[in-house]
Amino acid sequence: MLKPFAVTSGEPAGIGPDLTLSIAQREDASEFVVFADLLMLEERANALKLKINFIQYDRKQNYSSLPKDSLLVKNFDTAKKVLPGKLDQKNSPYVIAMIENATQACLNKDFKGMVTGPVHKNIINQSGINFSGHTEFIANICKSNSVMAFVSDNMKMALATTHIALKEVPETIDSGLLIETIEIIEKDMQVFFDLKKPTIGVLGLNPHAGEEGLLGKEELLIIEPAIEYLRKKNKNIIGPISADTAFLQNLDLDIILALYHDQGLPLFKFVNPHQAANVTLGLPIIRTSVDHGIALDLTASNNVNNESLHYALMTAKKMYQSYAEKN
């Protein structure tokens, strides 16, 4: 029996449920199981005037052939009735339960991997649950060191730090962190993206990569020693590269390592507005995600662009195929 992928529907008041409904229309529904409140999905489908054949998922059943417009659903009950566009912190445990269940099921090999819908970090924290993001939360369940990355047909980018304040970045980055991050990137580029010896470009922290110490010492004291250490281990590393020109140079990089969230992602998302996915590297499971938020103002409107979800689904499938060929 072929195993499917788990797809968590995210914040119920946002566009996550709307996105997952598009699986019934655009994908082979037997390949994906949506984690969501079934009643909420039915109500959202009615609001969007979609006719979908909802099927409660039973992992003992064979779903190799499903009727058109079908959707496999693993039911989770929300605490409160969902009103599209209206956040309710009482439904935050529901959001977390889907993520925890999907992660553990992937660790148990019940699913090939997981694809996550967008969530609202602040409303989750308002409910009393400590949550800085999917990447960190799932890595904690997996007891793994992880790397946040983004992939598209044109570009791959990873982050040395994730959801932390900008003022905390310099004190967080050290040579050990960079070495560990780059080694995770190289390993997963080989396993999941068929890059036998990836070339990794590392951005500098300061303007003009510090300009030989004139504009900051981090390049001289932290970044360059880490790169030199990895080069001695036969890794293909280029850097530190000045971030303002890194994307204009013809460096033939397989992936770029930005040192903080907004150093790299504004450009990445500008160049790849929809056809891109968030990928967590370093995990013992496959996890991809949409690269956008919950868009409360678009919920139940039929104006939602679902391309990022389908790119994330496709990326998960490609990653699994690459992994399976090697194992």
Q: Is the pLDDT of residue 103 over 90?
A: yes
50 pLDDT band, cuts 50/70/90, is very high
Q: Mark whether 165 and 251 lie in a shared domain.
A: yes
Q: Is the pLDDT of residue 2 over 90?
A: no
Last residue of a domain, one of 248, 271, 294: 271
Q: What is the pLDDT of residue 107?
A: 98
Q: Say if residue 253 is exposed, middle or buried (CB neighbours under 10 Å; 0-12, 13-18, 19+).
A: buried
Q: Mark whether 71 and 137 lie in a shared domain.
A: yes
Q: Is residue 322 part of a domain?
A: yes
Answer for the pair 246, 199: CB distance below 8 angstroms, yes or no.
Answer: no
Q: Is the pLDDT of residue 326 over 90?
A: no
The number of beta carbons lying within 10 Å of the beta carbon of residue 252 is 8
Q: Is the pLDDT of residue 246 over 90?
A: no
Tokens of 37: 């409140």
Q: Report the pLDDT averaged over residues 160-181.
A: 96
Q: Render pLDDT for 225-240 as a digit per residue (tens, 0 to 9).
A: 999 999 999 999 999 9
Q: What is the pLDDT of residue 321?
A: 96
Q: Is the pLDDT of residue 67 over 90?
A: no
Over the range 29-66, which residues count as b (16 or more CB within 10 Å of their CB) and which as e? bbbbbbbbbbebbebbbeebebebebbebeeeeebeeb
Q: What is the pLDDT of residue 327?
A: 83
Q: Mark whether 226 and 192 lie in a shared domain.
A: yes
CA angle 190, 111, 294 (to 5 degrees): 85
Q: What is the pLDDT of residue 100?
A: 98
Answer for the pair 240, 224: CB distance below 8 angstroms, yes or no.
Answer: yes
Print the domain residue range for 65: 1-145+283-327
Q: Say if residue 303 is exposed, middle or buried (CB neighbours under 10 Å; 0-12, 13-18, 19+).
A: exposed
284 pLDDT band, cuts 50/70/90, is very high
Q: Report the pLDDT averaged over residues 144-167.
A: 95
Q: Is the pLDDT of residue 65 over 90?
A: no
Residues 6 or more apart whose Cβ sits within 8 Å of residue 327 = none
Q: Report the pLDDT averaged over residues 172-191.
A: 98
Q: What is the CATH number of the domain that holds 172?
A: 3.40.718.10
Q: Mark whether 19 and 84 lie in a shared domain.
A: yes
Higher pLDDT, 48 or 1: 48
Higher pLDDT, 275 or 77: 77
Q: What is the pLDDT of residue 184?
A: 98
Q: Looking at the chain, how many residues does it have?
A: 327
Q: What is the pLDDT of residue 251?
A: 82
Q: Is the pLDDT of residue 81 over 70?
A: yes
Q: Report the pLDDT averaged over residues 237-248.
A: 91
Arithmetic mean of pLDDT over the chain: 95
Q: Mark whether 141 and 1 lie in a shared domain.
A: yes
Answer for the pair 260, 160: CB distance below 8 angstroms, yes or no.
Answer: yes
Greatest pairwise CA separation for the chain in angstroms: 65
Last residue of a domain, one of 228, 243, 271: 271
30 pLDDT band, cuts 50/70/90, is very high
- Above pLDDT 90, what percent of the chain? 87
Residue 50 CA to residue 150 CA, distance in Å, equals: 31
Residues 6 or more apart whose Cβ sits within 8 Å of residue 37 = 12, 75, 76, 77, 78, 82, 94
Looking at the structure of the chain, the number of domains it has is 2
Q: What is the pLDDT of residue 1?
A: 57
Q: Is residue 276 part of a domain?
A: no
Residues 6 or more apart whose Cβ sits within 8 Å of residue 120 = 11, 14, 87, 293, 294
Bridge partners, 75 (sequence order): 36
Q: Render pLDDT for 137-146 as a digit per residue (tens, 0 to 9).
A: 999 999 999 9
Tokens of 188: 């997963």
Q: Mark whether 75 and 188 lie in a shared domain.
A: no
